[in-house]
Amino acid sequence: MRGLGGATRKEKTRDELLEAVRAERAARGETRLRARAALTIQRTWRGHAARRRLRAALAAEWAATYGSMVAAPEARLGAEEVAGKLLPPFLFLLKPPRIGGTAPAAAPGAPAAAAASPRPHAAPAAPPPLQLPPPGSPLSVLVRGCLALLLRSASAADPRDSYLALAAAADEGRRVRRWGGG
Protein backbone atom coordinates (compact mmCIF):
# COMPACT_ATOMS: atom_id res chain seq x y z
CA MET A 1 0.00 0.00 0.00
CA ARG A 2 1.12 3.47 -0.77
CA GLY A 3 0.40 6.57 1.12
CA LEU A 4 -1.73 9.07 -0.76
CA GLY A 5 -1.74 12.05 1.55
CA GLY A 6 -3.59 10.37 4.34
CA ALA A 7 -5.71 8.09 2.13
CA THR A 8 -4.48 4.69 1.21
CA ARG A 9 -5.00 2.97 -2.10
CA LYS A 10 -4.23 -0.52 -3.14
CA GLU A 11 -2.03 -0.82 -6.25
CA LYS A 12 -3.44 -2.70 -9.22
CA THR A 13 -2.15 -6.16 -9.64
CA ARG A 14 -0.83 -7.43 -12.94
CA ASP A 15 -4.01 -9.43 -13.60
CA GLU A 16 -6.23 -6.44 -12.91
CA LEU A 17 -4.11 -4.28 -15.23
CA LEU A 18 -4.26 -6.90 -18.01
CA GLU A 19 -8.02 -7.20 -17.59
CA ALA A 20 -8.41 -3.41 -17.85
CA VAL A 21 -6.29 -3.37 -21.03
CA ARG A 22 -8.38 -6.21 -22.52
CA ALA A 23 -11.57 -4.34 -21.68
CA GLU A 24 -10.25 -1.14 -23.32
CA ARG A 25 -9.17 -3.08 -26.42
CA ALA A 26 -12.60 -4.77 -26.64
CA ALA A 27 -14.31 -1.37 -26.29
CA ARG A 28 -12.17 0.10 -29.08
CA GLY A 29 -12.94 -2.92 -31.29
CA GLU A 30 -16.65 -2.56 -30.58
CA THR A 31 -16.44 1.15 -31.46
CA ARG A 32 -14.70 0.31 -34.76
CA LEU A 33 -17.35 -2.31 -35.59
CA ARG A 34 -20.15 0.12 -34.83
CA ALA A 35 -18.54 2.82 -37.00
CA ARG A 36 -18.05 0.35 -39.87
CA ALA A 37 -21.66 -0.83 -39.54
CA ALA A 38 -22.93 2.76 -39.56
CA LEU A 39 -20.92 3.56 -42.69
CA THR A 40 -22.18 0.42 -44.43
CA ILE A 41 -25.78 1.28 -43.59
CA GLN A 42 -25.31 4.86 -44.79
CA ARG A 43 -23.63 3.75 -48.03
CA THR A 44 -26.40 1.23 -48.69
CA TRP A 45 -29.13 3.75 -48.03
CA ARG A 46 -27.48 6.43 -50.17
CA GLY A 47 -27.13 3.93 -53.03
CA HIS A 48 -30.77 2.93 -52.67
CA ALA A 49 -31.88 6.57 -52.65
CA ALA A 50 -29.70 7.36 -55.68
CA ARG A 51 -31.14 4.38 -57.61
CA ARG A 52 -34.66 5.47 -56.65
CA ARG A 53 -33.97 9.01 -57.92
CA LEU A 54 -32.45 7.61 -61.12
CA ARG A 55 -35.48 5.39 -61.69
CA ALA A 56 -37.81 8.36 -61.23
CA ALA A 57 -35.74 10.52 -63.58
CA LEU A 58 -35.59 7.78 -66.21
CA ALA A 59 -39.33 7.21 -65.97
CA ALA A 60 -40.02 10.93 -66.37
CA GLU A 61 -37.60 11.20 -69.30
CA TRP A 62 -39.05 8.10 -70.96
CA ALA A 63 -42.59 9.42 -70.54
CA ALA A 64 -41.61 12.82 -71.95
CA THR A 65 -39.85 11.25 -74.94
CA TYR A 66 -42.17 8.39 -75.83
CA GLY A 67 -45.42 9.12 -73.99
CA SER A 68 -46.97 11.06 -76.86
CA MET A 69 -46.00 8.32 -79.33
CA VAL A 70 -47.94 5.71 -77.39
CA ALA A 71 -51.22 7.56 -77.85
CA ALA A 72 -50.66 8.00 -81.61
CA PRO A 73 -51.21 4.63 -83.34
CA GLU A 74 -49.58 5.85 -86.56
CA ALA A 75 -46.34 6.83 -84.77
CA ARG A 76 -43.40 4.56 -85.63
CA LEU A 77 -39.92 4.23 -84.22
CA GLY A 78 -36.89 3.03 -86.11
CA ALA A 79 -35.52 -0.37 -85.12
CA GLU A 80 -32.21 1.17 -84.01
CA GLU A 81 -34.04 3.63 -81.75
CA VAL A 82 -36.10 0.80 -80.24
CA ALA A 83 -32.97 -1.23 -79.53
CA GLY A 84 -30.80 1.66 -78.32
CA LYS A 85 -33.12 4.18 -76.68
CA LEU A 86 -36.51 2.63 -75.94
CA LEU A 87 -35.65 -0.74 -74.40
CA PRO A 88 -32.61 -0.09 -72.11
CA PRO A 89 -34.32 2.39 -69.75
CA PHE A 90 -37.48 0.28 -69.87
CA LEU A 91 -35.58 -2.85 -68.83
CA PHE A 92 -33.80 -0.90 -66.08
CA LEU A 93 -37.15 0.30 -64.77
CA LEU A 94 -38.47 -3.26 -64.67
CA LYS A 95 -35.46 -4.57 -62.78
CA PRO A 96 -36.42 -4.93 -59.12
CA PRO A 97 -34.70 -2.43 -56.85
CA ARG A 98 -31.88 -3.94 -54.82
CA ILE A 99 -31.12 -2.96 -51.26
CA GLY A 100 -27.65 -3.85 -50.00
CA GLY A 101 -25.40 -6.58 -51.26
CA THR A 102 -27.24 -9.45 -49.66
CA ALA A 103 -27.81 -12.75 -51.36
CA PRO A 104 -31.32 -13.55 -52.56
CA ALA A 105 -33.57 -15.10 -49.96
CA ALA A 106 -34.34 -18.79 -50.08
CA ALA A 107 -37.47 -19.89 -51.87
CA PRO A 108 -40.53 -20.26 -49.65
CA GLY A 109 -40.81 -23.80 -48.40
CA ALA A 110 -37.10 -24.53 -48.92
CA PRO A 111 -35.32 -26.12 -45.97
CA ALA A 112 -33.49 -23.59 -43.83
CA ALA A 113 -30.32 -25.71 -43.73
CA ALA A 114 -30.08 -25.72 -47.52
CA ALA A 115 -30.37 -21.94 -47.63
CA ALA A 116 -27.84 -21.43 -44.84
CA SER A 117 -25.04 -23.62 -46.18
CA PRO A 118 -24.57 -23.55 -49.96
CA ARG A 119 -23.26 -26.74 -51.50
CA PRO A 120 -19.95 -26.40 -53.36
CA HIS A 121 -21.30 -27.82 -56.64
CA ALA A 122 -24.82 -26.43 -56.47
CA ALA A 123 -26.35 -24.79 -59.51
CA PRO A 124 -26.59 -20.99 -59.33
CA ALA A 125 -29.78 -19.67 -57.80
CA ALA A 126 -32.47 -18.63 -60.25
CA PRO A 127 -33.24 -14.91 -60.34
CA PRO A 128 -36.44 -13.84 -58.61
CA PRO A 129 -39.50 -13.83 -60.86
CA LEU A 130 -40.31 -10.58 -62.62
CA GLN A 131 -43.06 -8.74 -60.82
CA LEU A 132 -44.98 -6.27 -62.95
CA PRO A 133 -46.09 -3.04 -61.32
CA PRO A 134 -49.67 -2.84 -60.04
CA PRO A 135 -52.27 -1.65 -62.57
CA GLY A 136 -52.80 2.08 -62.53
CA SER A 137 -49.32 2.93 -61.24
CA PRO A 138 -47.14 5.28 -63.33
CA LEU A 139 -44.73 2.44 -64.00
CA SER A 140 -47.61 0.27 -65.24
CA VAL A 141 -48.46 2.96 -67.81
CA LEU A 142 -44.83 2.93 -68.96
CA VAL A 143 -44.84 -0.86 -69.27
CA ARG A 144 -47.98 -0.83 -71.39
CA GLY A 145 -46.66 2.03 -73.51
CA CYS A 146 -43.32 0.38 -74.14
CA LEU A 147 -44.96 -2.90 -75.04
CA ALA A 148 -47.30 -1.08 -77.44
CA LEU A 149 -44.35 0.62 -79.16
CA LEU A 150 -42.40 -2.64 -79.26
CA LEU A 151 -45.35 -4.49 -80.83
CA ARG A 152 -45.77 -1.70 -83.39
CA SER A 153 -42.10 -2.01 -84.25
CA ALA A 154 -42.33 -5.80 -84.52
CA SER A 155 -45.32 -5.57 -86.85
CA ALA A 156 -43.85 -2.82 -89.07
CA ALA A 157 -43.65 -3.71 -92.76
CA ASP A 158 -40.60 -1.52 -93.37
CA PRO A 159 -37.42 -3.41 -92.32
CA ARG A 160 -35.87 -0.16 -91.03
CA ASP A 161 -38.72 0.16 -88.52
CA SER A 162 -38.95 -3.51 -87.56
CA TYR A 163 -37.11 -4.55 -84.42
CA LEU A 164 -37.41 -8.17 -85.58
CA ALA A 165 -35.71 -7.34 -88.89
CA LEU A 166 -32.87 -5.75 -86.93
CA ALA A 167 -32.48 -8.92 -84.87
CA ALA A 168 -32.61 -11.08 -88.02
CA ALA A 169 -29.96 -8.91 -89.69
CA ALA A 170 -27.70 -9.21 -86.66
CA ASP A 171 -28.21 -12.99 -86.63
CA GLU A 172 -27.43 -13.15 -90.36
CA GLY A 173 -24.23 -11.16 -89.78
CA ARG A 174 -23.11 -13.59 -87.09
CA ARG A 175 -23.91 -16.57 -89.29
CA VAL A 176 -21.88 -15.12 -92.18
CA ARG A 177 -18.89 -14.46 -89.92
CA ARG A 178 -19.17 -17.88 -88.29
CA TRP A 179 -19.10 -19.76 -91.61
CA GLY A 180 -16.46 -17.53 -93.17
CA GLY A 181 -18.79 -16.18 -95.82
CA GLY A 182 -17.77 -12.58 -95.58
Q: What is the DSSP string of the chain?
A: -EEETTEEEPPPPHHHHHHHHHHHHHHHHHHHHHHHHHHHHHHHHHHHHHHHHHHHHHHHHHHHHHHHHHH-TT----HHHIIIIIHHHHHHHHSPP--TTPPPPPPTT--HHHHHS--TTPPPPPPPPP-PPPTTSHHHHHHHHHHHHHHHHHT-SSTTT-HHHHHHHHHHHHHHHHTT--
b/e string for 122-133 if b means 16 or more Cβ within 10 A? eeeeeeeeeeee
Give yes or no for residue 176 having a pLDDT over 50.
no
pTM, two decimal places? 0.53
* Residue 155 within a domain: yes
- Any domain includes 45: yes
Residue 58: band (very low, low, confident or very high) from pLDDT cuts 50, 70, 90: confident
Taking the CA of residue 60 as centre, how many other CA atoms within 13 Å lie in the half-sphere pointing to its CB? 6
Contacts of 160 (CB under 8 A, 6+ apart): 78, 79
Is 37 within a domain? Answer: yes
Residue 109 domain-assigned (yes or no): no
Note whether residue 128 is domain-resident.
no
Burial group, residue 179, by CB count within 10 angstroms (0-12, 13-18, 19+): exposed
- Res 115: pLDDT: 47
49 falls in which pLDDT band (50, 70, 90)? very high
Q: Which amino acid is at 32?
A: R
pLDDT at 2: 56
Let me know if residue 68 belongs to a domain: yes
Q: To the nearest whole percent, how much of the chain has pLDDT over 90?
A: 20
Average pLDDT, the chain: 76
User: Is residue 124 included in any domain, yes or no?
Assistant: no
Does 3 reside within a domain?
no
What is the total count of domains within the chain?
Answer: 1
- On the question of pLDDT at 182 being above 50, the answer is no
The predicted-structure confidence for 118-174, as pLDDT tens digits, reads as follows: 555 666 666 666 666 677 676 777 888 888 888 888 888 888 888 888 877 776 665
Q: How confident is the model at residue 45 (pLDDT cuts 50, 70, 90)?
A: very high
> Which range of residues forms the domain containing residue 16?
12-95+135-178
Asked if residues 77 and 86 have their Cβ atoms less than 8 Å apart, the reply is yes
Q: pLDDT, tens digit, for every residue of 21-44? A: 999 999 999 999 999 999 999 999
Q: pLDDT of 84-101, one tens digit each?
A: 888 887 787 777 666 555
